[in-house]
């Protein structure tokens, strides 16, 4: 899917298929004066965009936005960031000027220009969280409960969740003889 938006005198003209046919994954608004695209869920297909002079190019395939001919040399700033071990920006791609629309991001095109607003996605409100779900999964009518306890984060978390659910699990761990030698 390739989709281009040209901006001329505050009017938008579209070429290609408007992305976002799945309303649960993407929110799309397209009119002659405003275009908005928001990625709502992590399961939404990847969408890439490139901002140009008076144009926005969108595609679900990174190869569609690749330059024809040889790849341009890397940007000196990108090379310097790599040398210093800095992480890539959210949505960065190997193609110069091409970004991925990340979760919670909204691409807006109107007569004032192009903006990409990045917001952290909000989790749906609810009473279920991981400790609560784990506590519910522990069988309440079992006579005995045991946790293979290594002292690490995962087994400690399971033991704490069992205790929070009102259970007193027996903790089992490997006992290695301290006199063992090779």
> Is 30 exposed, middle or buried (CB count within 10 Å of its CB: 0-12, 13-18, 19+)?
middle
Say what the pLDDT of residue 142 is: 65
Say what the pLDDT of residue 97 is: 83
In a domain, 42, yes or no: yes
Read off φ and ψ for residue 116, nearest 5 degrees.
Answer: -120, 115
Question: Do 109 and 47 sit in the same domain of this protein?
Answer: yes
Q: Summarize pLDDT for 71-83 with one digit per residue, the tens.
A: 777 778 878 888 8
Question: Do 94 and 32 sit in the same domain of this protein?
Answer: yes
Question: Do 87 and 14 sit in the same domain of this protein?
Answer: yes
In a domain, 19, yes or no: yes
Extended strands (E) in 78-145: 98-100, 105-110, 113-118
* 59, pLDDT greater than 80: yes
Question: Do 48 and 82 sit in the same domain of this protein?
Answer: yes
Say what the pLDDT of residue 124 is: 60
Q: Are 60 and 46 in contact (CB under 8 A)?
A: yes
Question: Do 100 and 139 sit in the same domain of this protein?
Answer: no
pLDDT category at 121 given cuts 50, 70, 90 is low
Selection from 37, 17, 18 nearest residue 27 by Cα? 37
Q: Summarize pLDDT for 60-106 with one digit per residue, the tens.
A: 888 888 878 887 777 788 788 888 888 877 788 878 888 888 888 88
- Report the pLDDT averaged over residues 21-43: 78
In a domain, 179, yes or no: no
Q: Are 57 and 4 in contact (CB under 8 A)?
A: yes
Say what the pLDDT of residue 77 is: 81
In a domain, 145, yes or no: yes
Question: Do 148 and 168 sit in the same domain of this protein?
Answer: yes
Say what the pLDDT of residue 46 is: 84
In a domain, 77, yes or no: yes
- How many domains would you assign to the chain? 2
In a domain, 178, yes or no: no
Question: Do 111 and 134 sit in the same domain of this protein?
Answer: no
Say what the pLDDT of residue 133 is: 75
Question: Do 87 and 145 sit in the same domain of this protein?
Answer: no
End-to-end CA distance of the chain: 62
Final residue in a domain of this structure, among 118, 139, 159 = 118
In a domain, 181, yes or no: no
Question: Do 102 and 163 sit in the same domain of this protein?
Answer: no
Say what the pLDDT of residue 141 is: 64
In a domain, 144, yes or no: yes
Say what the pLDDT of residue 139 is: 66
Strands 55-59 and 98-100: unpaired
Residues spanned by the domain of 156: 130-172
Residue linked to tokens 């004066």? 33
Question: Do 73 and 151 sit in the same domain of this protein?
Answer: no
Weakest-pLDDT range from 14-23, 46-55, 83-92, 155-164: 14-23
Q: Summarize pLDDT for 123-172 with one digit per residue, the tens.
A: 566 656 777 777 777 766 666 788 888 878 888 888 888 888 777 888 88
């Amino acid at each position: 899917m390739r989709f281009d938006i040209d901006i001329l005198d505050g009017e938008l003209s579209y070429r290609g298929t408007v992305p976002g046919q799945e309303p649960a994954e993407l929110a799309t608004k397209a009119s002659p004066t405003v275009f908005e695209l928001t990625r709502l869920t992590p399961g939404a297909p990847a969408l890439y965009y490139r901002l140009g002079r008076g144009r926005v190019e969108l595609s679900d395939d990174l190869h569609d936005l690749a330059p024809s001919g040889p790849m341009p040399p890397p940007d000196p700033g990108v090379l310097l960031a790599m040398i210093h071990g800095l992480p890539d920006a959210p949505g960065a791609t190997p193609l110069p000027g091409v970004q991925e629309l990340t979760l919670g991001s909204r691409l807006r095109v109107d007569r004032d220009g192009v903006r990409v607003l990045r917001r952290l996605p909000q989790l749906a409100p609810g009473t279920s969280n991981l400790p609560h779900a784990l506590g519910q999964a522990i069988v309440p009518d079992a006579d005995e409960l045991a946790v293979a306890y290594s002292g690490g984060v995962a087994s400690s978390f399971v033991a704490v969740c069992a205790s929070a659910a009102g259970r007193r699990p027996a903790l089992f761990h490997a006992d290695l003889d301290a006199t063992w030698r090779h």
